[in-house]
Amino acid sequence: MEDKNIIYGRNSIIEALKSGRRNFNKIIISRSVRPDAKIDKIKEYAANAGIPFVFAEKEKFSKYNEYNHQGVIAFVSPIEYVELEDFIAQHKENTSLVLLDGVEDPHNIGAVIRTCVCAGIDGIILPSRRGALVSEIVEKTSAGAINHISIIKVNSPVSALQKLKDNNWWVIASDHHADNNYYDIDFLNMNFVLVMGAEHAGISRSILKLADFKIKIPMLTDFNSLNVSAAAGIIIYEYVRQKLTAGRKYEQK
């Protein structure tokens, strides 16, 4: 079981330590690793938190060679997923969620989570059937961001969205057939959940039916093929732009 919950790479381990949201069993470091500021930081955190910090021969790491571990691995408790009901109960106003529908590439999931944390998105919903849940690769590619945001696991994205709608949330779906461009809608003064689909399949029909707004990213050539993490960044940061410039609109009046 232990192997199922590892974090590898200095930055990811530091972020998980800083967050205080994971239980560390132990951290192992290869004897062949040259100490640096980040290793020192990991040692310091570990010492303060009473986490065993073990040196090991290089050979011990061979079974983890599929990971780009840089000679440091932590064995930790899994991410604690947040229940949707609890999240709804705790967030009443101007809350932002992102739901990934059928996105399977863990690198993309990790990159979207990073963007969500940078942009102050309140939570991310990952369906447990379609798409990938948080794996070691997601943890690594998120650069530890998964420790700084609520991750909500749901069995059915359709039921989850219906539940959110019943609780005064608006569903915004990214759909390249949409009439509206993403910057034509007002993201402010509401609870919203932005649904992003997989690159080729897009968002499933049953989800599109639930959408209160459908938005597209305009294409200036006939090459319609944004990477999902770029697409998510573009839309999510339009929300940030609106939020940070909202005062200016009032000034102009």
Binding site for a second copy (CB under 8 A): 15, 107, 111, 114-115, 117-120, 143, 145, 148, 181, 183, 217-221, 223-227, 229-234, 237-238, 240-241, 244-245
CA angle 23, 24, 26 (to 5 degrees): 160
**96 or 160: CB nearest a second copy:** 96
CB of 84 to a second copy, least distance (A): 22
State the sign of the Cα–Cα–Cα–Cα dihedral 223, 227, 228, 230: negative
**135 or 245: CB nearest a second copy:** 245
Residue 44 and residue 74 in contact, taking contact as beta carbons nearer than 8 Å: no
Q: How far apart are CA 153 and CA 122, in angstroms?
A: 14
**141 or 210: CB nearest a second copy:** 141
**33 or 230: CB nearest a second copy:** 230
CB of 239 to a second copy, least distance (A): 10
Residue 61 and residue 158 in contact, taking contact as beta carbons nearer than 8 Å: no
The sheet carrying 53-56 orders its strands as 6-8, 72-76, 24-30, 53-56
Q: How far apart are CA 155 and CA 43, in angstroms?
A: 39
Torsion angles phi and psi, residue 122, rounded to 5: -80, -25
CB of 109 to a second copy, least distance (A): 12
**1 or 223: CB nearest a second copy:** 223
CB of 246 to a second copy, least distance (A): 12
Looking at residue 7, its amino acid is I
CB of 209 to a second copy, least distance (A): 27
The residue count for the chain: 253
